[in-house]
Structure 1
Amino acid sequence: MSIPVIDLADALAPGGARSAAVAAQVRAAGTASGFFYVRNHGVPAALAEAQYALARRFFELPLADKQAIDLHRSPSMRGYEAIGAQTLGAGARPDLKESFYCGLEYAPDHPYVRRGYHSYGSNQWPAALPEMAAQCAAYTAALLALAQRLMQLMALSLDLPEGYFDHTHGNPMVTLRLLRYPPHPRDADERTFGAGAHTDWGAITILAQDALGGLEVCMPGGAWVAAPPMEGSFVVNLGDMIPRWTNGRYHSNPHRVRNLHSHGAPRYSIPFFYSPDYEARVEPVPTCVLPGAAPRYEACTVGEHLRDMYRKTYGLGNAGAAMA
């Protein structure tokens, strides 16, 4: 089994000529590994290239400049995270990656910020890169539009109205992450990863990866397969929120990273994590529950789902959020 490639041409707007055909492909991917590539996705190549260039400049900054915006200085957990600070795989060694988190800006008087909801708030930016805020905001806006369109196509794939999930987009939880993986150690053991095996907790992840590769996906039968980069495409994977919405019909499969093919060069990737409004309700949709049958998942809010995932993950011994 391989990871399918879905062409979004003529399906990027509601009512697009190919929307039904694309929705059928989303259905096939969702019921398999929950992973697929998208091309002709509407995000300008120049914007993505500028984001990569920015990531390289950021990670080349002196360590003191990066540590000055350590994410633990931020109430919304945005900023720099050092190598080894996160352990995603149960029983694995600390992940060999460093990262930077940012997201949508929510003002201090926003109700969700006042309530202390996770990931709502402001960003931290390095003083040495004054252009970073504007570039990340532009990239985030483009990926947010794509994520919300993918949610519409997912609705169609479930035989629901195209706008079924639109009401959940009000105050979305969005995290943009820049990642740098050093070369994989030659003496690494089987417990060493750039990012250990995990699933993502939210709704949709859209990943840009450089030409070096390293992403691996666990397929339904348990085999791990490479998800090599394809020029001009993104890798999309469904997070743990989607099985709750689809009553287990669509899958959120484990994935991991090992920078094995770079010939000594660092690997860069840029994942964009999308979840709906913190207070949006998540419950199995009617087309996924047989008449008279009890849903497999209880209804909850987005925030309750994420808090539950934190509890389960910490109970397994992992050290951080499932974001790779």
Structure 2
Amino acid sequence: MSIPVIDLAGALRPGDAHHARSAEVAEQIRSAGEAAGFFYIVNHGLDAALIARQFDAAKALFDLPETDKEAISLAHSRAARGHERIGAQTLDANARPDVKESFYCGIEYPPDHPYVQRGYYSYGANQWPAQRPWIAAQSLAYTGAMCALAQRLMQLLALSLGLPESHFDHIHASPMVTLRMIRYPAHPADADERTFGAGAHTDWGAITLLAQDAWGGLEVQMPDGTWTAATPLEGSLVINLGDMIPRWTNGRYHSNPHRVRNTRSGGAPRYAIPFFYTPDYMARIEAVPGSVPDGAAPLHPPCTVGEHLQEMYRKTYGVQAA
């Protein structure tokens, strides 16, 4: 099985004038959602130079001395923003710690925003490296562009379910987004079968939009259980559906496991920039119209975005997130 490629040309703007092309794209999203929940997009409207500058930002940040990165550590942030050292995360509980380092940032919500005041996870200020001040403006510009694209994908997702393309528009008031820059060092020569750059996992949010460099290393578990390489395609982004989508679609669309091994770079680091789009913390998740058979109960009870994330934290870590 392979990961499909979806061309968004002619489907990037909502409205009747583009309905026919959007309907074609929506049908392709339906097919991908019912399979592994992964697909490439091309002609997505993002400026190639903007993406290239974001990779420059990632390289500049990770090249900083360890003391400078420690100064902006995640440990200093209530909003889960900042640098994360190699080995700090283990995405697969049955594997060894992930062989990667990361930097997290997102929308700059002000201190008086209600969600910041309530201490909701990932709402608040970013931490930026003082030694590379341009990284902040670049990353915020990239975040804005990715937010707009993610929200258009949510409209196309609605069309794929036979709903008006505006069905999810109300959930985007204060989205909970994370831009993550990742550097994977070369896979250790003495690594065993339990060592990964990123262990097998699913994403918890709605949609992930991934820009990856030319080396590759991302693998996706297909519906038959086999693992397929998400080989880099020039000019594309890799899209995967997160765990909120099966809740919205009553299990019709899937959020499949994926993992990373940096074995193809010839010793060079691999860079990847996933953008995790999650709607407003208080947005409601419930099975969309037409997804639950008559007389049946939905697979998941209705909940808010925040309640879904709290459930995932309890299942994964045995703790509760604010």
Equivalent-residue separation in structure 2 for 1:314 and 1:110 (angstroms): 28
1:292 Cα offset (Å): 2.0
Give the counterpart of 1:176 among 179, 183, 191: 179
Specify the alignment match of 2:82 in structure 1: 79
1:56 Cα offset (Å): 0.6
Equivalent-residue separation in structure 1 for 2:209 and 2:49 (angstroms): 17
Equivalent-residue separation in structure 2 for 1:41 and 1:67 (angstroms): 36
Task: Give the letter for the 1:220 counterpart.
Answer: P
Task: Give the letter for the 1:147 counterpart.
Answer: A
* Residue 100 of structure 2 is aligned to residue 97 of structure 1: yes
| 1:70-96, Cα deviation, whole Å (9 max, x unpaired) | 011011010000000000012110000
1:36 Cα offset (Å): 0.1
* Residue 120 of structure 2 is aligned to residue 123 of structure 1: no
Q: Secondary structure, in 3 states, of the residue corresponding to 1:285?
A: coil
Equivalent-residue separation in structure 1 for 2:290 and 2:56 (angstroms): 44
Q: Secondary structure, in 3 states, of the residue corresponding to 1:307?
A: helix
1:182 Cα offset (Å): 0.3
Q: Secondary structure, in 3 states, of the residue corresponding to 2:279?
A: strand
Specify the alignment match of 2:229 in structure 1: 226
Give the counterpart of 2:254 among 251, 254, 257: 251
Whether the aligned pair in 2 keeps the contact of 1:45 and 1:232 (CA below 8 Å) is: yes
Q: Secondary structure, in 3 states, of the residue corresponding to 2:177?
A: strand
Task: Give the letter for the 2:203 counterpart.
Answer: D
Extract unaligned runs of 5+ from structure 2.
none
Percent of aligned pairs with the same amino acid:
71
Equivalent-residue separation in structure 1 for 2:292 and 2:173 (angstroms): 26
Specify the alignment match of 2:10 in structure 1: 10
Give the counterpart of 1:237 among 224, 236, 240: 240
| 1:207-230, Cα deviation, whole Å (9 max, x unpaired) | 000000000000001000100100
Q: Secondary structure, in 3 states, of the residue corresponding to 1:25?
A: helix
Equivalent-residue separation in structure 2 for 1:242 and 1:100 (angstroms): 26
Q: TM-score, normalised by structure 2?
A: 0.97
Task: Give the letter for the 1:113 counterpart.
Answer: V
1:203 Cα offset (Å): 0.2
Task: Give the letter for the 2:9 counterpart.
Answer: A
Q: Secondary structure, in 3 states, of the residue corresponding to 2:290?
A: helix
* Residue 16 of structure 2 is aligned to residue 20 of structure 1: no
How many aligned residue pairs are there? Answer: 317
Specify the alignment match of 1:286 in structure 2: 289
Which 4+ runs in 1 deviate beyond 4 A? none
1:187 Cα offset (Å): 1.2
1:293 Cα offset (Å): 1.6
Equivalent-residue separation in structure 1 for 2:111 and 2:58 (angstroms): 27
**Backbone CA RMSD of aligned residues:** 1.1
Equivalent-residue separation in structure 2 for 1:56 and 1:132 (angstroms): 10
Equivalent-residue separation in structure 1 for 2:232 and 2:273 (angstroms): 12
Extract unaligned runs of 5+ from structure 1.
none
Q: Secondary structure, in 3 states, of the residue corresponding to 1:179?
A: strand
1:131 Cα offset (Å): 0.4
Give the counterpart of 1:200 among 199, 203, 227: 203
Specify the alignment match of 1:140 in structure 2: 143
Equivalent-residue separation in structure 1 for 2:106 and 2:78 (angstroms): 13
Task: Give the letter for the 2:216 counterpart.
Answer: G
Equivalent-residue separation in structure 2 for 1:63 and 1:85 (angstroms): 14
Whether the aligned pair in 2 keeps the contact of 1:160 and 1:287 (CA below 8 Å) is: no
